[in-house]
Structure 1
């Protein structure tokens, strides 16, 4: 299939046991067969924590040669910085990144994230240097402004040294006063050369 331009994987389980490790390998089997498709959409899924999980993302050792990455984060209240960082450090050639965030902590099927949860490991993503020298366009959809979301977004501004355009769509649960506060905070992360656009309660497309 020499003209294939876009692939979307099955969910990648970020923390889990051997059974989920095998599931991840199946999800990534197809992308590994296409090394030069321009767009890849990955789904990072955080399942309920039972106490015997390990960080499975380290088993993902390479990604296709892509220019456009869509990252769908289904975190359900868990920290997602380490998983996202692991994907991004293998994607240094991307020019566009679209983040779809579902990070709410009110998922009824999921137990609340507790202090000392495995999702805080590994923590090196917060201090390890990363450069995304080709990234020029960043789109963030459904930003709620949680501490964990903002920690990743702030790092993205630092990593993307050539960033030109950023579009942020706030989740429809964020009221106007909080939107304004978040706008000011995000602008403080930015640089004068970056064009920032904000909107509220809409949807971004990965197309």
Structure 2
């Protein structure tokens, strides 16, 4: 992901891309003005340590924004079920982790406990205009760690998974596309 981001020509301020562990960020104390956790903190084992690291690397008056998917939408729940029912029940757990922090108050508590001030949490809805169900399913799978696991399943299992998902989404399709209003959780705060 960093290689792709770095390959995009800058049209504004220069960005220095750095890879690191969320609980041990390779940056000096108070060295950043802004920190963004874009749909990632739910994958971190020690979320409190990650929030503390955000606090550590931010300069005084630095701002942090974090968001996670809210509760799982019916379409994405159907995707999880199709994968778990036809490929491997354990793969549904990955999708469950994606949706494991649906309440903005979880983010608020993490930021408050890490020492941030002026912490505000809110829910909003992201209106997604997704491709037709089969294309959406394979795009999601191939853009996530699920790709290698599902890819190694039998053709019969993959066909059954796709068929189950397409059938489950039939009532949601509009003009060949799959509109989804996905609830989201957001919190923002300031380092004192």
Using the size of structure 2 for normalisation, the TM-score is 0.33
Greater RCO (Cα-Cα under 8 Å, separation 6 or more): 2
More helix as a share of residues: 2
Using the size of structure 1 for normalisation, the TM-score is 0.31
